[in-house]
Amino acid sequence: MKLRSLFLRIVGVKTPAILLFILKIKKEIFGLILSQKKAHNAKLLWAKSHNEKGVLKSIG
């Protein structure tokens, strides 16, 4: 039995539209969290490679 049909049986939902809506919302939330993490990592990388004045640190 597929996970989707199992979920529909447990919830008692006759239409998959509600399930698809829930999955879409979860996907959007996951995307937002992932983009926030990427932005945070980019800020950390920028901070490691630049000094307090915003000038790129010399390599080596």
pTM, two decimals, is 0.52
What's the CA gap between 58 and 49, in Å, rounded?
8
Structure token digits, residue 57: 């640190």
Tens-place pLDDT, residues 16-60 = 777 788 888 998 999 999 999 999 999 999 888 888 888 888 765
A 10 A CB-CB count for 13 gives 13
- Say yes or no to pLDDT of 3 above 70: yes
- What is the predicted pLDDT for the residue at 17? 76
Most distant CA atoms of the chain, gap in Å:
64
Structure token digits, residue 31: 């995307």
